[in-house]
Amino acid sequence: MITTSTALIVGLDAATCDSFGPVLEAHGFETLRVTTGRQAVDVLHRARPALIVLDLDTQDVPALVLLRQCRASDASAVVLAVAAVPDVRTAVEAMRAGAADVLETTVTPEALRDAIERLLPPGLPAAEHEHGRLFHGSAAMQKLEAIVAEVARLDGPVLIEGERGVGKADVAWAIHRLSARRSGPHVRLDCAALPPDLLETELFGREEVPAAAGDGSRVGKLEAAHTGTLLLEEVREVPAPLQLRLVQVLTGGEFFRAGGRGLTSADVRLLVTSRTPAATDRPILEELRDELGVFRILVPPLRERREEIPGLAEYYRERFAREFGRAAAPLSASTLQLLGRYQWPGNVHELANVIKRYVVLTDERHLVDEIRGRMQATGSAPVRPRPGELGGIPIDVKLGLREIARRAARAAEREVIEHVLTSVNWNRAEAARRLKVSYKTMLKKLGEDERGTSSHGTRAPRDRARSA
């Protein structure tokens, strides 16, 4: 049984705490709430919370002092600071004192969930459990664990390579947690999710401009990661001019904010990921690769560590059952054997999505049919159709040839759509483009509405392009 970790909420009102409850429970946290800084200090020594949500307006203990005490009590704890109006100075001071992020007092449960998923690795927050899940399931990952431990001990940039969905971000998190920088923030930035102009601002920050322009200073991820680590996912998506600026950061620790004239410094360790084979023809510049190539880690694909599949399937079943409040039974031995024969081109991420749909639908037969269809489409293994079925559709001659063909075609369309969606991390807009159909047409064929809600009332996996 997976143990539950503690989340400590300091200073926020009861209504806000109550609204956070389902989000924290879904991520494996037992919640404690205190109203004063002194109460928080007492709980820190007794409960050792893994997550702390701290209102910076606490009156009895100065906020920055309390932040430092939070970090001192457990360097691995993730601290989210909450401020009424989090300006640039407040954000920088809070992050340098140990906060991983600064949110507004009016933070919603959805914003809290996004922050947890951004700052913590996928799954439950207990560091020991996450480390064991990642590295102890196969001989290949145990070998990788030794490399990660050695790289974490040194304080240089790291290039983490691997196929899509293998867990490169999890490896980066492990490096951070095992390094001397574990008491600092671990900040993530998905370079593929932003256009070049926004990427510059997100990465380097933006210099303050006159208020009449309707804009203001913004702290970039480099400054937010000061004294900690910055994970840049899919570094090939970074335009060449910005890659050269990253080289300057690596060699000198200084950079210019967007629109700025003065140099800004940040003490940060850079971890970057790159997909293999490359998903884009954009190269990593030789100058940047030279800086990153000293420490290079290759994460093996799931098909090379198949012994992990049963444990991962059960892990995700428990996780999503708790998150969605569904009673999904453990998968049968025959289904687990089928999962073990599939090639998993989308690796762990694809497996997680398959198990997520199983938990939502609570239909093991649907999962089996889905995997059989993928195996036929990818040539993973020869799969014979069941007697009396065509493309997974029961043959009922009373329906007539035209209706049988229509139903089989509809099932085939859905299989193809779901296969493409998996390959693009359920980015519906990108899948529609690849399939050369409109966004609305694809949703209709999936039985979803514009909000991503299926015809049977459940929420489908979120569209990355529309939520970025």
What sign does the CA torsion over 178, 183, 189, 190 have? Answer: positive
Q: Which of 102-106, 241-245, 308-312, 358-362 has the lowest mean pLDDT?
A: 102-106
Q: Do domains 5-115 and 127-300 have the same CATH topology?
A: yes
| pLDDT one-digit tens code per residue, 142-178 | 899 889 989 998 889 999 999 999 989 889 988 988 8
What is the C-alpha separation between 389 and 288, in angstroms, rounded? 55
The reported pLDDT for the residue numbered 294 is 81
Report the Cα 358 to chain-centroid distance in Å.
20
The reported pLDDT for the residue numbered 414 is 72
Q: Considering only residues 23 and 354, tell me which one the structure prediction assigns the higher pLDDT.
A: 354
User: To 10 degrees, what angle do helices 168-178 and 139-153 make?
Assistant: 50
The reported pLDDT for the residue numbered 188 is 87
| Residues contacting residue 373 through CB under 8 Å, at least 6 positions apart | 392, 415, 419
Q: Considering only residues 280 and 230, tell me which one the structure prediction assigns the higher pLDDT.
A: 230
| pLDDT one-digit tens code per residue, 410-465 | 777 777 887 777 667 667 788 888 888 888 887 777 665 444 444 434 444 445 44
Domain map (residue ranges) of the chain: 5-115, 127-300, 304-467
Tell me which fold the domain 127-300 belongs to: Rossmann fold (3.40.50)
Q: Considering only residues 92 and 54, tell me which one the structure prediction assigns the higher pLDDT.
A: 54
Percentage of the chain surpassing pLDDT 70?
Answer: 79
CATH number (3.40.50.720, 3.30.565.10, 1.10.150.130, 3.40.50.2300) of 5-115 reads 3.40.50.2300
Single-letter amino acid code for the residue at 340: G
Q: Considering only residues 463 and 272, tell me which one the structure prediction assigns the higher pLDDT.
A: 272
| pLDDT one-digit tens code per residue, 288-342 | 988 887 889 999 999 999 999 998 998 889 888 877 788 888 998 888 988 998 9
Confidence band of 271 (pLDDT split at 50, 70, 90): very high
User: To 10 degrees, what angle do helices 364-378 and 333-341 make?
Assistant: 20
Report the Cα 287 to chain-centroid distance in Å.
29
Q: What is the mean pLDDT of residues 375-399?
A: 58
CATH number (1.10.10.10, 1.10.8.60, 1.20.200.10, 3.60.15.10) of 304-467 reads 1.10.8.60
Q: Where are the alpha helices (DSSP H) in 363-400?
A: 364-378
What is the C-alpha separation between 332 and 336, in angstroms, rounded? 6
Select from 56, 148, 134 the least CA-distant residue to 348.
Answer: 134
The reported pLDDT for the residue numbered 398 is 67
Judge whether residue 362 has pLDDT over 70.
yes
| pLDDT one-digit tens code per residue, 205-241 | 887 655 444 445 677 888 888 888 999 999 998 999 9
The reported pLDDT for the residue numbered 242 is 92
What is the C-alpha separation between 319 and 321, in angstroms, rounded? 6
| Residues contacting residue 209 through CB under 8 Å, at least 6 positions apart | 215, 216, 259
Percentage of the chain surpassing pLDDT 90?
Answer: 16
Q: What is the mean pLDDT of residues 72-101?
A: 76
What is the C-alpha separation between 271 and 225, in angstroms, rounded? 11
Confidence band of 466 (pLDDT split at 50, 70, 90): very low
Q: Which of 51-55, 193-197, 357-361, 411-415 has the lowest mean pLDDT?
A: 411-415
| pLDDT one-digit tens code per residue, 121-140 | 544 344 444 555 677 778 89
